């Protein structure tokens, strides 16, 4: 592990030059570029065959990938009681045999692009980083139980994200509107600030937010040139894993790139489903105006569709059968964050029926109404999550005042260009998180000091797929 404070670590990485223009010194960089940061975001355009796309990704984001890996390795080790070498080996032995050749080439390209910049991370670091969200708890729970090892209590499916999709009589123009804010720990959440504009030689061009080093979005918000719009929220306290299935990060990327319809998306995500990073996927097809919810467990898969309605996500299981058979979540306790946010979504969908548009979506994702208390108070029960302000926390994922919550937000609708969305880095409500102040108030989190940085809120910014 690289030593030193997080700020010093990033400053050291920042000393390396980053090409910001077209072309570059290597033919693999042609037609690709990195734009200077804008309101907390980094925009990169990737184009070409799989290895070229990977090389460009690794090359332009070397310093961000290295810094994010530094934090993810620390978090996984602390939560699972397993060293990074365990995940490298598992990536090679368990996941790699199930990775399509196209994505093998892209993952190798990321490692090659980083190597061209002098980074020490290799292919197995890259694959392990891509599977970050499905290692814990999904793979680790299966692995520990298969080997007769007690599963650490910190290995649990987190409550990540709030999201909605609406269409028909619920929206202002009758066409789909979709929005999402990403919830995670602030240590790793500060890196969820990449806008990927990807133009592959095969499949559809797509625009998504994402995480440095990942070939999928990770928090899963994006759209492709065929008009399919995608997001999701995690199914909280989910337990289940199929070691013979295809990694979730491969299926999620393939669905973003190759889906031309909701049926395509459902087929890709359910084929050889390994149960990793189990989510309720919210979808829309701009061509047909249809919206859908794909609740993807291992034993239970539920696809719901509508041309006149809405679906919301806040980490609650929708299917009672799935909740009973594949989670430990209490669907009756209204004080729990997923249940409280579910009720708030229902209130907003009723209040704004016929008026939902991109502007309304921005308001939803910054909402601070606690439906359980009935008060305006940012906390773990509000759509814009602030676990750091909660004396209750989000057990078993986060303790009281744990540094976690909404770290960014996105919203899109037919009023925008086909490959365009608005994005807000940091809490979309505008509240800033200051690490030093938080650690002073809550010294029980001093163990995060090396990795925890400020999370600054930025204005909403429109991003569109680059011309050409």
pLDDT reported for residue 6:
47
Domain match, 136 and 246 both = no
The answer to whether the beta carbons of residues 103 and 250 sit under 8 Å apart is: yes
pLDDT reported for residue 288:
98
Rg (CA), the chain: 20
pLDDT reported for residue 157:
87
Burial class (CB in 10 A: 0-12, 13-18, 19+), 468: exposed
Cα(29)–Cα(15) distance, rounded to whole angstroms? 21
Of the three residues 146, 171, 196, the one that is the final residue of a domain is: 146
Please report whether residue 194 resides in a domain: no
Cα(178)–Cα(199) distance, rounded to whole angstroms? 22
Cα(17)–Cα(30) distance, rounded to whole angstroms? 18
pLDDT reported for residue 37:
84
pLDDT reported for residue 36:
86
pLDDT reported for residue 8:
42
> Is the link from the previous residue into 396 a cis peptide, with omega within 30 of 0?
yes
Residue whose pair of structure tokens reads 């990449």 in the numeric block: 194
Please report whether residue 381 resides in a domain: yes
Cα(393)–Cα(381) distance, rounded to whole angstroms? 10
Domain match, 140 and 173 both = no
Closest to 60 measured CA to CA, from 104, 12, 21 = 21
Please report whether residue 202 resides in a domain: no
Please report whether residue 218 resides in a domain: no
Cα(248)–Cα(216) distance, rounded to whole angstroms? 9
Cα(98)–Cα(105) distance, rounded to whole angstroms? 13
The answer to whether the beta carbons of residues 163 and 232 sit under 8 Å apart is: yes
Please report whether residue 173 resides in a domain: yes
Domain match, 364 and 234 both = yes
| Domain of residue 241, residue span | 162-188+223-464
pLDDT reported for residue 311:
98
pLDDT reported for residue 23:
42
Please report whether residue 261 resides in a domain: yes
pLDDT, tens digit, 9 for 90 and up, residues 135-186: 999 999 999 999 999 999 889 988 889 999 999 999 999 999 999 999 999 9
> Is the link from the previous residue into 358 a cis peptide, with omega within 30 of 0?
no
Report CA-CA distances (Å) from 273 to 204, 277, 298: 22, 10, 7
pLDDT, tens digit, 9 for 90 and up, residues 211-227: 999 999 999 999 999 99
pLDDT reported for residue 20:
40
Cα(442)–Cα(445) distance, rounded to whole angstroms? 6
Burial class (CB in 10 A: 0-12, 13-18, 19+), 36: exposed
Cα(22)–Cα(30) distance, rounded to whole angstroms? 7
Closest to 90 measured CA to CA, from 59, 56, 132 = 132
Domain match, 65 and 91 both = yes
Domain match, 12 and 79 both = yes
Residue 76 dihedral angles phi and psi, to the nearest 5°? -65, -40
Domain match, 398 and 302 both = yes
Domain match, 14 and 100 both = yes
Cα(276)–Cα(249) distance, rounded to whole angstroms? 9
Cα(190)–Cα(405) distance, rounded to whole angstroms? 11
Q: Tell me how long the chain is.
A: 468
Please report whether residue 378 resides in a domain: yes
> Is the link from the previous residue into 267 a cis peptide, with omega within 30 of 0?
no
pLDDT, tens digit, 9 for 90 and up, residues 297-306: 999 999 999 9
Domain match, 26 and 64 both = yes
Check which CATH number belongs to the domain holding 281 and give it.
3.60.60.20
The answer to whether the beta carbons of residues 404 and 392 sit under 8 Å apart is: no
Residue whose pair of structure tokens reads 């990321």 in the numeric block: 110
Residue 53 dihedral angles phi and psi, to the nearest 5°? -60, -45
In our burial notation (b when 16+ CB lie closer than 10 A, e otherwise), range 133-166 reads: bbbbbbbbbbbbeeeeeebbeebbbbbbbbbbbb
What parts of the chain have a pLDDT lower than 70?
Answer: 1-25, 467-468
Instruction: Please state the domain count of the chain.
Output: 2
pLDDT, tens digit, 9 for 90 and up, residues 396-433: 999 999 999 999 999 999 999 999 999 999 999 999 99
Closest to 282 measured CA to CA, from 363, 219, 196, 214 = 219
pLDDT reported for residue 25:
61
Domain match, 256 and 120 both = no
Give the bridge partners for 178, in sequence order.
Answer: 165, 412
In 91-220, which ranges are continuous DSSP H helix?
A: 101-116, 123-130, 132-134, 140-146, 186-189
Domain match, 126 and 239 both = no
Residue whose pair of structure tokens reads 């990536």 in the numeric block: 91
Domain match, 370 and 264 both = yes
The answer to whether the beta carbons of residues 110 and 54 sit under 8 Å apart is: yes
Domain match, 273 and 127 both = no
pLDDT reported for residue 16:
40
């Amino acid at each position: 592990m690289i030593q030193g404070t997080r700020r010093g670590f990033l400053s050291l990485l920042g000393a390396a030059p980053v090409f910001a223009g077209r072309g570059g010194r290597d033919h693999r960089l042609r037609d690709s570029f990195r734009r200077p940061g804008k309101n907390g975001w980094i925009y990169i355009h990737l184009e070409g065959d799989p290895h070229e796309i990977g090389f460009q990704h690794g090359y332009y984001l070397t310093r961000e990938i290295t810094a994010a890996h530094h934090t993810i390795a620390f978090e996984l080790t602390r939560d699972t009681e397993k060293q990074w070498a365990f995940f490298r080996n598992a990536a090679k032995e368990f996941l790699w045999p199930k990775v399509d050749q196209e994505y093998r080439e892209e993952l190798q390209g990321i490692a090659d692009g980083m190597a061209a910049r002098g980074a020490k991370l290799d292919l197995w670091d890259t694959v392990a980083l891509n599977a970050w969200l499905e290692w814990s708890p999904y793979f680790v729970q299966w692995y520990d139980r298969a080997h007769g090892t007690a599963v650490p209590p910190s290995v649990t499916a987190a409550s990540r994200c709030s999201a909605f999709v609406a269409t028909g009589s619920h929206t202002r123009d009758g066409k789909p509107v979709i929005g999402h804010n990403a919830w995670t720990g602030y240590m790793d959440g500060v890196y969820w600030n990449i806008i990927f504009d990807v133009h592959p030689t095969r499949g559809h061009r797509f625009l998504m937010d994402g995480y440095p080093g990942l070939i999928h979005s990770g928090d899963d918000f994006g759209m492709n040139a065929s008009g399919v719009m995608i997001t999701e929220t995690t199914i909280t306290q989910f337990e289940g894993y199929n070691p013979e299935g295809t990694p979730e990060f491969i299926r999620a990327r393939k669905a973003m790139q190759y889906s031309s319809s909701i049926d395509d998306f459902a087929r890709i995500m359910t084929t050889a489903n390994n149960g990793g990073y189990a989510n309720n996927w919210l979808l829309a097809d701009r061509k047909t105006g249809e919206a859908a919810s794909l609740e993807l467990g291992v034993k239970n898969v539920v696809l719901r569709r509508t041309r006149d309605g809405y679906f919301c996500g806040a980490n609650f299981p929708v299917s009672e059968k799935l909740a009973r058979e594949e989670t430990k979540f209490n669907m009756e306790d209204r004080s729990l964050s997923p249940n409280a946010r579910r009720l708030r979504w229902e209130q907003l969908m009723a209040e704004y029926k016929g008026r939902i548009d991109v502007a309304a979506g921005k308001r939803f994702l910054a909402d601070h109404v606690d439906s359980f208390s009935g008060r305006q108070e940012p906390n773990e029960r509000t759509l814009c999550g602030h676990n750091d302000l909660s004396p209750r926390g989000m057990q078993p994922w986060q303790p009281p005042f744990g540094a976690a919550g909404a770290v960014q937000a996105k919203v899109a609708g037919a009023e925008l260009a086909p490959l365009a969305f608005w994005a807000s880095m940091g809490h979309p409500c505008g509240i800033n998180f200051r690490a030093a102040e938080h650690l002073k108030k809550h010294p029980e989190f001093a163990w995060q000091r090396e990795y925890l940085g400020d999370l600054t809120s930025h204005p909403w910014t429109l991003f569109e797929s680059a011309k050409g």
